[in-house]
Structure 1
Amino acid sequence: MDVSAEMWDQLHGAGNEHRFGRGQVVLRQGEPATHVLLLVSGRVKASLTLPDGEILLLAVRGPGELLGGMAVLGGDDRSATVTTIEPCVMRALSAERFRALVRTADLETELLRRAMRRIREGEVWRAETASLPASSRVVRALVRLAAPGTDDPVDVGLGQVEVGQAVGLSRSVVAAELAKLREQGIVRTTRRRILITDPARLRALAASGHGNV
């Protein structure tokens, strides 16, 4: 869970339920921050469109995540676009209601710590993208995006282009690295689908610091 259980319960109780299908934009880059979303079930991806049109995949988030909170508190427009990867259930709170709860429940410190965690995560990811070979970047991206803890097969929910957007690689390079993992029985791939068949081995590969077994 991205926030404490106590904070989640307070925000969850104040929100209204909304359901979204796969591929729906729930927050859009550049739009006013009028509300926050609590992700109850399902997964979403956050992406940034640069001035030249290039798209960067910033993160994949799962249940227990607070979406859009920093923009609301900072009075800024949305800094990224959030799109559902699969059907999702969310709770929505207006910006005014969210800010009131933060003040009355003294949640500022927890939200600041959350923001700092996200900044550190982003710094680690940028450092990996700048310094690691393609094989390690793809392996670590798959772990980060889809298989942080489970040992069961995982549908990444992202295609090769999107994995490339996360680590600064072309689709062809990602395809080549996925082919190596497929030969080792770690993943299976079909059109626009990547299935991690052995998450434990993938995590071990990422922890080893090498892209190949």
Structure 2
Amino acid sequence: MAPRSEGGMTAGDAQHRPVEPTSFATLDALNAALAAEPPLVPGGTHSVPGEGPVGAAIAFVGEQPGDEEDRQGRPFVGPAGRLLDRAMAEAGISRDRVYVTNAVKQFKFIQRGKRRIHQTPTAGEVSRARWWLHQELDLVHPRVVVALGATAGLALAGRKVAVTRERGPLLFDNRRGYLTVHPSYLLRLPDEPARQAAYAAFLTDLNAIREMAA
């Protein structure tokens, strides 16, 4: 089962959309249906579902699973996830009380020898996966949805977002949201002073998010 087709989609996109929309009563039912879908991205192996309690005050949405997430079948367990855990702990946000997921549920990569190199999902791939994300959030029903990076912002807002310009509280359709950087951005910064400054700004965002959700 999968969602209805939308205008502007290609014939390839349409295979993920039946004529009539389908709603799911539980996250388990949604995730089972998603697991049965064809890959949403080239090279996708299996879907990595979101994780956390229904009714969580905060839902964090990233881009897509990485190599470790794909191997373990859990979101945010790689280097970026460990950095997010550290920052949440410092901001007084408990990982086991939030919901974490991704805009695209499968790891898009190219194989280079033994390494699987991350590839950013295209706008079309994000669009194909967007219905699943919004169904998921409808079931979790968080008070605040956090877009970690531009890909998550695109999936939630349905348009391109500029993190540097729009960073902060943002309305995603009818959802109270917040746009900030993805933790992987902090890991990619070239020098320690820049990383420290960016990490401090990320903590400021997380504190603001915690207050929004209170």
Instruction: Give the TM-score taking structure 1 as reference length.
Output: 0.29
Q: Which structure: greater strand fraction?
A: 1
Instruction: Give the TM-score taking structure 2 as reference length.
Output: 0.29
The structure with the larger Rg is 1
